[in-house]
Structure 1
């Protein structure tokens, strides 16, 4: 009977010693020298529960830590009670590159030892301008780029148009030369005299004298002595 009562009392004590963690921000990226704030909120009915911030650092394939985070001039640690629980606040006044890591809050008491899921904070350094131009200089550069782009479009187009006109002119000259070659070497005086002979022969044949033809035939058949 005493054993059953002891078991029930222990079970009741375990139920009473309950801690519920709220969702945390899993990742945040902060620029170098900016401020950052991490929080870890939970609900518990325990009166004495200590909250400790710890940090884990990734070194190659190895995770180092947990390492406790202590308050300093740049780091502030505090707790804030809310209507539905308690929040641990970790504030950075000016983050540094070595502040990159996974931050967790460790809740501990005589009954509970619990790590939160944590927030990974990455500190990055923005790229610096190698050349600092004024706005007027930037505008001039943009105008020059626009002119160069326009020239890159117009010059090839003008060259293609010139080549097209040149080919058209060459074709026209070739056709003209071929037409001239048709009459090359043709003697018009010779053609005229030949035409006249053909005309005279045709005219003469129409009025040929029958007597003359007979005489010519007799002369052809006469034998010489």
Structure 2
């Protein structure tokens, strides 16, 4: 227990001598390009450090491993700030991960930077500008036809319905007069005319005996 307390006290004292500088939270680099990662800190102790990478494995577990063979360099900034630089040349998709510096003497991890290596999307179909313009013009014509053709179809249907309605009315009128005898119509008209002539005006012939209808 005493040894554990001494070691903990030693670690806390050493850590108190280190001031971590803010790291770049993330970095995005295209495949085959060079990536430069920095971890900056201010310490009066040893400047030795080791880069640590954390990434997801095939079974989606987080795997952390050191990078002892990585290309690194030390850089001294303003106000005694020291920076460790990790250089990844010709990056691949497998270089994607979370990178931190481990300060050996202080037993401290820096904040770290997440590196994302991406591959640019390639065109599956390469078309020239003239072909693209032709496709756009064709799409415009098709869109116009999709709007005009239904309207023309509706107009023709409306005209056809009107013609059918007129034919139906004309046929009904013909059916009304069908079967009527014009001679009988004339005889009935003459009979009504004769009966009308038998009636007299009451105001002009008050003493006359009128025929009852």
- Normalising by structure 2, report the TM-score: 0.76
Runs in 1 of length 4+ with deviation above 6 angstroms? none
* 1:114 aligned residue: 108
Does 1:176 pair with 2:175? no
RMSD, aligned CA: 2.8
Q: Secondary structure at the match of 1:133?
A: coil
Q: Is the 8 A contact 2:31 2:117 kept in 1?
A: yes
Contact in 2 for aligned 1:33/1:96 (Cα 8 Å): yes
2:62 is aligned with 1:63: yes
Q: Distance in 2 between matches of 1:147 and 1:79?
A: 65
Question: Compared with structure 1, are the counterparts of its residues 150 and 18 closer, same or farther at alpha carbon in structure 2 (3 Å cutoff)?
Answer: same
What residue is the counterpart of 1:6 in the other structure?
A: none
C-alpha distance in 1, partners of 2:84/2:151? 70
| CA deviation map 1:50-81 (0-9, x unaligned) | 1222222311232223221534xxxx422221
1:107 Cα shift?
A: 0.9
How far is 1:201 from its partner? 5.6
CA 1:204–1:98: 2 relative to 1, 3 Å: closer
Question: Larger Cα Rg: Structure 1 or Structure 2?
Answer: 1
The match for 2:73 is 78
Displacement, 1:192?
0.7
TM-score normalised per structure 1? 0.72
Cα offset for 1:24?
2.0
Correspondences of 1:111-190 after superposition (within 5 Å): 112-190=106-184
Tell me how far apart the structure 2 counterparts of residues 139 and 183 of structure 1 sit (CA, whole Å).
Answer: 67
Structure 1's 187 and 50: CA in aligned 2 closer, same or farther, altered over 3 A? same
Count of aligned pairs: 190
Query: Counterparts of 1:194 and 1:182 in 2: how far apart (Å)?
Result: 18
Give, in whole Å, the separation in 2 of the partners of 1:69 and 1:103. Answer: 13
Asked if 1:101 is matched to 2:97, the reply is yes
Distance 1:198 1:135, change over 3 A: closer
- Unaligned stretches of 5+ in structure 1? 1-9, 207-225
